[in-house]
Structure 1
Amino acid sequence: MSGTIAFGLFAVVFVTSALSGVFGMAGGLILLWFLLLALPATTAIVVHGVIQLCANGSRAWFSRHYIDWRIVAFIASGGALAALGLALIDYTPNTAVVSLLIGLMPVLVWIPKAWFRFDASRPHHALSCGVVAGGLTIAAGVSGPTIDLFFIRTQMDRRQVVATKAAVQVISHSIKIVFYLHAALVLSKGQWGMVLLAIPFAILGTRSGNAILRRLTDANFRYWTRWIVTAIGVFYFLQGLWMVT
C-alpha cells in the first residue's frame, strides 16, 4: 500500500467515522466506496469490517449509557440467522452487486410511515431487522439505511438511536469478518499494518462526531440523515449501473 493511498485511507477513515458519529451511519458507506477502489469486493468488505468494528465499538463505548441491550440482542440473533443462510448458499460478492444493493438501500428511509410501522423496540420487528440488515451487511458490506428504517420510527431520541445502532453494528461487523475470514489472508502484513494504523483515526473521528451529535436537535438529526444517505445511495446506484453496462 503506497504512502498516498495510506494517507488517503487515514483521512477517509477520520472523516467517515466523524460522519457516522453524528448520524450513526453514512460514513461507512463512503469508506466502503474508497476501499472498493483499491481492493477486491470480498477483501474490501473485510477491511471495512475491521475498521468499522473499531469505530462503532468506540461510538458504543462513548454512548454506552444510552444503549438498549434488549434491542441489540434481538437484532444480533436475526443477524446470526442471516449469516447461516448465506453460508449455506456459499454467497460471494462482487463490486457491481455491492454497488447496486447499497444504491437501493436509501429508498427505504423515504417509505411513508403510513405504509410500514417498523419499530425496533418490538421484539419481532427487531428480529426481522437483524435478518434483513444482517444479510445485507454480509452481501453488500453495509446495512445502515436498512437498520435506520427500524429505528427512525421509534420513540428513542437521537443519542439512544446512535448508541444502540453502534452496538448492533459491532456485532454485525464481527459476524461479517468471520464470514469472510478467508479474504483477510489475501492482504500482506504491510497492508494490515496500515489498516491497524487507521484504527486510531476511526476512534478520533468518532469522538469528534459524538461532540457534534450533542449539538443537533432530533428533528435536524432525522432530516439530514435521510438526505445524506440518499445522496450517497444515488452515487452508488449509478456506479453499479455503469459497471454492469
Structure 2
Amino acid sequence: MTVRWGTLVFTLVLASVAAFLLAVLSAVAGFGGGVLLLPVFVALFGLRFAVPMLTLTQLSSNGARVWLNRGAVRWRIVGWFAAGAVPLAVAGGLLLTHAPLSPLKRVLGVFLIGVVVWRRLPRRAGPPRERTFIGVGAASGFGSALFGSVGPLTAPFFLAYGLARAAYIGTEAAAAITMHLTKIAVYGAGDLLTTRVLLYGAALTPATLAGAWVGKKVVNRVSDHTFVVLVEIGLVVAGLLLLAGFS
C-alpha cells in the first residue's frame, strides 16, 4: 500500500510540475500548453483519463487567464466562437466516450505534427470577420473534445483578427472556457468524469493557477518567438512518440 501511495504522489508531483510549466507557457505565448500537456497526461494516466483531466486543468488555467486579462476580452468574438464550439464539442465528447483508444492515439500523433505544419503554411492576408469564428469554434470544439486542446490551430485566427497581448490571451481563454464547460458536461454523461479524474484534476488546479499567474508576470519580458519554436519542437516530438506507440 505504501508503494502505491508513493507512486501516486510521485505521479501527481510530476503532473503538477508539467501543468505549472505549461500553464506559464500558455500565459506567455497564448497557446501550446494544452497540446504539450496532453502527451504527458497520456503517458501518466492513459488517453481515456488524460483528455477529461486536461479539460479540468485547462478550465482552471483559462479561467485565471480570463480574470487576469478581463478588461481586454472581446466578448462578441467569444459569442460567435461559442455558437460553433458548443454543439461540435458535444459530438467530439460522445465520440471519445465510445471510440477505441489505439486508433485515437495514432490520430493524435498525426494531429500534433499537423499543428506545426498548419502553423507554417502561408495564409492569405486580411483579418477574418466576426462570423468566421463560428467555423473556427466548430472545428475547435470537435477537435478539443477529442484531443484535449487545439489552441495552436485556432491561434492564427485570433491573431489575424488583430488581437494582441492581453486582448488575445483573454479572448482566446474565454472562448476556450465555453468548450471546456461543454466537454465536462458530455464527459460526465459518458461516465468519463470518474472520482479519480475529479480528484486528480482538483490536485493539479493549484499548479495551473500558479503557472497562469507567473506567466502573466513575464509576458512582456520574454520573446514570443522563442516560445513558439519550443512549442513546435515539443509537438513534433510528442506526435512522433505517439505514432511510434511509446505513449
- TM-score normalised by structure 2 residue count: 0.85
Q: Residue type matched to 1:83 in 2?
A: A
Instruction: Select the residue among 162, 167, 172 that pairs with 2:169.
Output: 162
Structure 2 matches for 1:28-67, cutoff 5 A?
A: 28-67=34-73
1:183 aligns with 2:192: yes
CA RMSD of aligned residues (A): 2.3
Aligned to 1:27: 33
Asked if the contact 1:25–1:144 (Cα under 8 Å) also holds between the matched residues in 2, the reply is yes
User: How far apart, CA to CA, are the structure 2 residues paired with 1:87 and 1:141?
Assistant: 10
Aligned to 1:232: 234
Asked if the contact 1:102–1:142 (Cα under 8 Å) also holds between the matched residues in 2, the reply is no
1:139 aligns with 2:146: yes
Q: Residue type matched to 2:192 in 1?
A: A
Q: Pick closer, same or farther for the CA change 1:145–1:11 going to 2, 3 Å.
A: same
Structure 2 spans left out of the alignment, 5+ residues: 1-6
Q: Residue type matched to 1:197 in 2?
A: A
User: How far apart, CA to CA, are the structure 2 residues paired with 1:53 and 1:77?
Assistant: 19
Q: CA deviation at 1:34?
A: 1.2
Give the count of matched residue pairs. 234
User: How far apart, CA to CA, are the structure 1 residues paired with 2:228 and 2:119?
Assistant: 6
Q: CA deviation at 1:51?
A: 0.7
User: How far apart, CA to CA, are the structure 2 residues paired with 1:87 and 1:137?
Assistant: 9
Q: Percent identity of the aligned residues?
A: 22
Aligned to 2:130: 123
Q: CA deviation at 1:87?
A: 6.2
Q: Pick closer, same or farther for the CA change 1:178–1:28 going to 2, 3 Å.
A: same
Q: Pick closer, same or farther for the CA change 1:126–1:25 going to 2, 3 Å.
A: same
User: How far apart, CA to CA, are the structure 2 residues paired with 1:118 and 1:39?
Assistant: 40
User: How far apart, CA to CA, are the structure 1 residues paired with 2:90 and 2:8?
Assistant: 37
Aligned to 2:4: none
Deviations 1:183-203 (CA, angstroms, capped at 9, x unpaired): 112x43xx6434312211111
Q: Residue type matched to 1:241 in 2?
A: L
- TM-score normalised by structure 1 residue count: 0.86
Structure 1: which 4+ aligned runs deviate by more than 6 Å?
87-90
Structure 1 spans left out of the alignment, 5+ residues: none
Q: Pick closer, same or farther for the CA change 1:86–1:11 going to 2, 3 Å.
A: closer
SS at 1:123 equivalent: coil
User: How far apart, CA to CA, are the structure 2 residues paired with 1:50 and 1:159?
Assistant: 23
User: How far apart, CA to CA, are the structure 1 residues paired with 2:94 and 2:183?
Assistant: 15
Q: Residue type matched to 1:172 in 2?
A: M
Q: Pick closer, same or farther for the CA change 1:87–1:161 going to 2, 3 Å.
A: closer
